[in-house]
Amino acid sequence: MQPSAPRPRIVPSVLPADFSRLGDECRALEQAGVDRIQWDVMDGLFVPNITMGPDVIASVRPLVSVEFEAHLMVEEPDRLLSRWVDAGCGLVIVHAEACRHLHRTLAAVRGLGARAGVAVNPATPLCAVEHVLDLVDLLLVMTVNPGFGGQEYLASMEPKIAEARDLIARSGRQIELEVDGGIGRGTIAGAARAGATTFCAGSALFRERARLAEEVAELRRLAAEAAAEAVRVMDGTCREEDAA
């Protein structure tokens, strides 16, 4: 009997937000019932875009209580690790491709008292992270090439999401499986069916500003439905195998 799927987590990316009133935007997200807020940190080197520094995040921290995650799309993330934690991020996600010593970097994040996450770009195989699962609380499978919001979801990543789900199951550890990029009503079910438990969405949420809480609830419902269906299918397969 397969364990039932966890309640899906909906995590907005603030990249499409109105940066001239970030505090209000984050309050609206919190009131809409999101599980965390993702800050897309880009340095213009790891990705061809530049977004925000730790002081921007710190300025919003006192305005809301929802947890912050810093998604570091930067080269050499070790250089400023403590700054994101000091700015109020309870979860710091580094890219495997940006870390020369990934094991040391993840241990350093945990050493700062934060939870640690590792992200992989679409082209990066999961074998790049399989030996550091003991150091992570979250694995992020990118479903777009990082750097911009509003891109098309890569359904070709679903087999990799399923591989990540199985890798985590074999490790026996409590590790969230997050996806990020192109997530919305038309794509979230595919990612949930493949095993994702946490869904980062930017444009799909911000284009529904007027009815944010409804959109968050709808994305969560679609993900839960797809995950439950996947569990039923896996159970059916198990029963057939048992009967054979």
User: 141: exposed, middle or buried (C-beta count within 10 Å: 0-12, 13-18, 19+)?
Assistant: buried
Q: Is 180 in the site for ligand DX5 (CB under 6 A)?
A: yes
Which of 200, 217, 193, 103 is CA-nearest to residue 143?
200
Q: Is 200 in the site for ligand DX5 (CB under 6 A)?
A: yes
Beta bridge pairs of residue 33: none
Q: What is the DSSP string of 154-196?
A: -GGGHHHHHHHHHHHHHHT---EEEEESS-STTTHHHHHHHT-
Q: Is 204 in the site for ligand DX5 (CB under 6 A)?
A: yes
**244: Cβ contacts below 8 Å, ≥ 6 apart:** none
> Which tokens in the block code for residue 206?
């911000």
Stretch that binds ligand DX5, among 91-99, 126-134, 142-150, 222-230 (CB under 6 A): 142-150
Closest to ligand DX5 by CB, 11 vs 168, is 11
242 labelled catalytic: no
Closest to ligand DX5 by CB, 136 vs 200, is 200
Q: Tell me how far the alpha carbon of residue 178 is from its chain's centroid.
A: 4
Closest to ligand DX5 by CB, 132 vs 204, is 204
Identify the active-site residue in 137, 180, 235, 242. 180
Q: Which residue in the set 15, 37, 81, 177 belongs to the binding site for ligand DX5 (CB under 6 A)?
A: 15
Binding residues for ligand DX5, rule: CB under 6 A, are 13, 15, 38, 40, 71, 144, 146-147, 149-151, 180-183, 200-204
Active site residues: 40, 180
